Amino acid sequence: MKLLSPTSWTEYELLDSGGFEKLERFGKYILIRPEPQAIWERTVSHDEWLKQAHAHFTREQKDNFRFGEEIKGGWKKYKAMPDSWDINYHYEKLRLKLRLALTNFGHVGMFPEQGQNWNFIYDTITSWNLSDARILNLFAYTGAASVVAKAAGADVTHVDASRPGLNWANQNMQANQLNDIRWVHEDALKFVKREAKRGKKYNGIIMDPPPYGRGPEGEKWTLEEKLSELLSLSSQLLEDKNSFLILSMYAVGFSPLVGLNVAKTYFKNIQPEFGEFFLPGKEGKDLPMGTFLRFASK
């Protein structure tokens, strides 16, 4: 089991964490956002955080450990900053530009720990001698992984249940001067079921399923109930050679062994890399950012 943190960022930094919040720098701007796992004390006082911050997102709820579906709260700006801006990520020959924004649910449009997966995607696809590598990105959000796969030369299908998320991902594609990503507005599990019936095959499958969610037609998703079925169907879609799978999960209390055991049920003879992502913090207070499992076959 591994502990991995992103190593290629210059425009992102975790400045501090504690008190169920985190203090982060995204390019020129410093934000305070909720973080349910940061149960420890801050390295510096909250007043010092407020002096540094451009904006602060708060959630009005009694339970700091679990975020409910209904979000009350919002952003408060302390210094002048735009509602939307760009951030850059560089790795080897990859030059990635991502649009960030202050959303009404506290996200900004990307998860910095995923830099480790972006590097893996880029390295794996560029190592193949394929002219038509096909990549499926499920629960694909604003499309950073889709853009990376496209930049590496793959044919990419991007699936998400959020229409605004698809629009945002399209903006990220265009910002990187790319085109022809296939956008699918659908429940991820429903899409995978249909692809399996059609006998479709992909060289790479990327998934970052939420703990819970709803599809475009109200389809209910819960990680505990649906993950096994999703991976079972994905095993039917993945090519035997020149292939990879990435499973990321941000669910408080889930061990990395959960994803490992489910994957081993359906994917045979694999040698997966698995563990936890974290963001390195000050004074050794590293912030856990969910589990990962990934493997590749040549």
Place of tokens 């339970």: 63
Q: How far apart are CA 126 and CA 149, in angstroms?
A: 9
Q: pLDDT value at position 221?
A: 82
Q: Which two tokens stand for residue 262?
A: 């489910």
Asked if 10-80 and 85-297 have one fold, the answer is no
Q: Where are the beta strands (DSSP E) in the chain?
A: 2-4, 12-18, 21-26, 29-34, 55-59, 73-77, 84-91, 94-101, 134-138, 155-160, 182-185, 204-207, 212-214, 220-222, 243-249, 273-279, 287-297
CATH superfamily of 10-80: Golgi alpha-mannosidase II (2.60.40.1180)
Q: pLDDT value at position 64?
A: 43
pLDDT in tens, 208-254: 998 888 888 888 888 999 999 999 999 999 999 999 999 999 876 78
According to CATH, the topology of domain 85-297 is: Rossmann fold (3.40.50)
Cβ atoms within 10 Å, residue 75: 17
Q: Provide the residue ranges of all domains of the chain, joining segments of one domain with +.
A: 10-80, 85-297
In the structure, what pLDDT confidence band is assigned to residue 63 with cuts at 50, 70 and 90?
very low
pLDDT in tens, 287-297: 999 999 999 99
Alpha helices (runs of H) in 35-179, residue ranges in sequence order: 46-52, 115-127, 144-151, 163-175
Of 216, 229, 160, the closest CA to residue 188 belongs to: 160
pLDDT in tens, 133-181: 999 999 999 999 999 999 999 999 999 999 999 999 999 999 999 999 9
Does this model's pTM top 0.85? My answer is: yes
